[in-house]
Amino acid sequence: MADHPVDEKLPALKMATTGLQHVAAMYAGVVAPPLIVGAAIGLSAGDLTFLTGACLFTAGLATFLQTLGIWKIGARLPFVNGVTFAGVAPMTAIVASTEDKSDALPIIFGAVIVAGLLGFLAAPVFCKAIRFFPPVVTGTVITLIGISLLPVAFGWAQGPDPTAHDYGSATNLGLAAVTLLIVLLLRRFTTGFVKQIAVLLGLVIGTLIAIPLGATDFGPVADAAVIGFPTPFHFGAPQFQLAAIISMCVVMVVSMTESTADMLALGEIVDRPADERTIAAGLRADTLGSAVSPLFNGFMCSAFAQNIGLVAMTKIRSRYVVAAGGGFLVLMGLCPMAASLIAVVPRPVLGGAGVVLFGSVAASGIQTLVRAALDKDNNVLIVAVSLAVGIIPITAPEFYHAFPETARIVLDSGISTGCVAAVLLNLVFNHLGRGGRDAHDVTHPMEAGEELSGAPKAPAAS
């Protein structure tokens, strides 16, 4: 019996190039949090480089854990793991509230360790949420993931620094447009391996085009060391403060919710639907990776939605490809000069490729919604309201400005709020009262009339 495409081992060259493509797609997302938090603390250039390398190294370890797995840990799906951006706001808040800035990172690391361990213990319970994710919910959440990521691509297209004079300039937007066009042309007029690495080729060609325009900075390569190792507890031993722990536990809940949605999305795309066991194993990998990460000076890790679009577009579903990407992340963590090569890719070039990647995620969500019986009024309302709730943080970023900072950690995540809204509305319209009695209004896995207590019911007639 042939292996499932998820378990397929590709030739070495193809494995390496497609793995590198995954790294290119998520690199900016991994390095942004340490750069932001490090700048808030006022780290020196050397320490900032060290912190960034540490986050790349721990992202690689977490990716190994997620894709290859050990025991009951790891979804064994083509997931890249990296620093979750949901933790940036609370981490900068911790920095702001710490009088001695040298204690800020140890306090953050201590809070992440505790949140990771608690999340690991909670994973078997949290995964039970799978029964509340029929296609009308998963399709909505997958669509929201894509929509939520698109503004990231649009921001990249404008440039790396919003305060720079050339931010949003014709040059930057032109580079993004040319990169997008290159990817589209390669996807349309090539076949086989070249077609599958169209995004990577688009990034390389876009970078080459940017050189004579002065949009490519080779300074990071010249300044980077050849070898470096993220020495454990480089910034000091972890410190444990209750307020910081509570805030990072909230981030962990948000991260686990998003990871659950991501696993459901990827399971649909690779044709290996994520069941409770898979989600529990994936959450264990996320949370254990987060608990171990601070030992090497890294932050909380979670599955990266950016790479779902790459899997959807290339149709390369092998988890070993993503494991190869994890290997590149570890190498970049150990070799700052190698990490700096990816940093050479101009942000507008990344933005052009990101439009294809993130748009593919949204398109996958729409494909799932096609199977969600949208001819029924109940499901149309669920999708309509959930999408509206999830899009609020994108279209009106200050909508929740009057809420406490802790609440905003959840509310400012459109994926989380949209997911919660979809689950609750599905329960209200399709399972409580008369809504749960009409089988035509309800979709798998929660069947019509199924009690939330999990009581057995008579099998449906075939």
131 pLDDT above the threshold of 60? yes
CA 365/CA 256 separation, integer angstroms: 19
- pLDDT at residue 338 in the model: 67
Q: How far apart are CA 233 and CA 240, in angstroms?
A: 14
Higher pLDDT, residue 100 or 388: 388
CA distance 410 to 416: 7
Q: Is the pLDDT of residue 451 over 50?
A: no
At residue 224 the predicted structure's pLDDT band, cuts being 50, 70 and 90, is low
pLDDT at site 387 = 93
Distance CA 154, CA 196 (A): 23
User: Residue 132: left (phi > 0), alpha (psi -120 to 50), or beta?
Assistant: alpha
The more confidently predicted of residues 409 and 268 is 268
Q: Per-residue pLDDT averaged across 281-305, rounded?
A: 89
Q: Which range among 51-60, 70-79, 198-207, 400-409 shows the weakest confidence by mean pLDDT?
A: 400-409
What is the average pLDDT score of the chain? 80
**Sequence letter at residue 322:** V
pLDDT band at 457 (very low <50, low <70, confident <90, very high): very low
Closest C-alpha to 215, from 151, 258, 172: 172
Confidence (pLDDT) at 205: 92
Query: By CB neighbour count within 10 A (0-12 exposed, 13-18 middle, 19+ buried), where does 2 fall?
Result: exposed
**In this structure, are residues 307 and 144 in contact, taking their beta carbons and an 8 Å threshold?**
no
- The mean pLDDT of 325-334, rounded to a whole number, is 87
- Minimal CA–CA distance to 47: which of 299, 235, 292? 235
More confident residue, 459 or 195: 195
Strand partners, 81: 303
Task: Give me Rg for the CA atoms of the chain.
Answer: 22
**Measured distance CA(61)–CA(65) in Å, rounded:** 6
Max avg pLDDT among 36-40, 131-135, 399-403, 448-452: 399-403
Average pLDDT over residues 206-233: 79
Read off the pLDDT of each residue in 17-37 and give the average, rounded to a whole number. Answer: 77
- How far is Cα 126 from Cα 119, in angstroms, rounded to an integer? 9
* pLDDT at 89 (0 to 100): 65
Alpha-carbon span 67 to 310, nearest angstrom: 16
pLDDT (tens digit, 9 = 90+) per residue, 87-127?
Answer: 776 787 788 778 788 888 999 999 999 999 999 999 888 88
Q: What is the DSSP string of 19-55?
A: HHHHHHHHHHHHHHHHHHHHHHHT--HHHHHHHHHHH
Whether the per-residue pLDDT at 335 is higher than 90: the answer is no
